């Protein structure tokens, strides 16, 4: 009996050996591609000076208090690497003949586009908030408005609040609740800006309109 079992095992192993070797090669190629893609993403994001922008926004200091280190380029590089490895592992599982495991990996792969879009929203929010804060402070200080830095911070936090809600929605974390909060938040911002502009921004608005009128003449 043990001899028959061993014989069946060896026959099955020899029969499936080519597929096992092929699946192993596919997975190893996937590991190499994943490492290359990881390095590429890190190099691209390092050129955008993403970490420096986050440092200017005091992210490093805030995370340091929680004893957490965050390297944004390597974080997004690791996400890319995990996606490619999972993709090639799914292909290897199909070759070996593990359909249920392959379907499970397929569900994970299907969720990665949400992660990528959420990552793009995060990167966009980093640069948009930093750029808009600088522009707001520069314009308002030119107009000699004393609370320009406060308004700059308000613009930055408004962008981050909207970006956070968009990221949560993209990751399908309580999407209905997030959408409700998003609509309410946008409505509040519109009303607040309208009131502030109507009560305290007449002079600035008049100046902007005059400059615009002069340009189109």
For the chain, 217 residues long, the average pLDDT of each consecutive 10-residue run is 59 70 91 95 86 70 59 87 93 86 88 88 80 66 59 75 84 79 71 57 57 55
Distance (Å, rounded) from C-alpha 155 to C-alpha 149? 10
Output the pTM of the full model: 0.68
Distance (Å, rounded) from C-alpha 205 to C-alpha 193? 13
CA atoms 9, 10, 16, 20: torsion sign: positive
| pLDDT at site 203 | 57
| pLDDT at site 101 | 87
| pLDDT at site 190 | 65
| pLDDT at site 25 | 92
- 160 contacts 125 by C-beta, under 8 angstroms: yes
| pLDDT at site 118 | 87
- 165 contacts 181 by C-beta, under 8 angstroms: yes
**Widest Cα–Cα separation across the chain:** 100
Distance (Å, rounded) from C-alpha 101 to C-alpha 94? 8
| pLDDT at site 142 | 61
| pLDDT at site 196 | 55
């Amino acid at each position: 009996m043990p001899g028959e079992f061993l014989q069946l095992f060896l026959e099955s192993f020899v029969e499936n050996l080519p597929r096992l070797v092929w699946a192993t090669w596919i997975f190893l190629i996937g590991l190499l591609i994943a490492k290359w893609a990881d390095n590429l993403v890190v190099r691209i994001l390092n050129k955008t000076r993403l970490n420096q922008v986050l440092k200017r926004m005091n992210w490093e200091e805030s995370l340091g208090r929680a004893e957490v280190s965050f390297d944004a380029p390597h974080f997004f590089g690791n996400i890319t690497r995990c996606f490619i490895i999972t993709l090639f592992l799914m292909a290897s599982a199909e070759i070996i003949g593990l359909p249920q495991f392959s379907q499970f990996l397929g569900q994970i792969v299907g969720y990665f586009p949400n992660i990528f879009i959420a990552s793009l929203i995060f990167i966009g929010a980093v640069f948009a908030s930093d750029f808009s804060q600088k522009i707001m402070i520069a314009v308002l200080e030119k107009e000699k408005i004393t609370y320009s830095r406060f308004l700059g911070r308000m613009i930055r936090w408004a962008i981050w609040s909207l970006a956070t809600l968009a990221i949560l929605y993209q990751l399908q974390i309580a999407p209905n609740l997030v959408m409700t909060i998003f609509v309410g938040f946008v409505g509040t911002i519109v009303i607040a800006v309208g009131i502030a502009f109507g009560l305290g921004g007449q002079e600035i608005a008049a100046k902007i309109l005059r400059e615009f009128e002069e340009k189109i003449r």
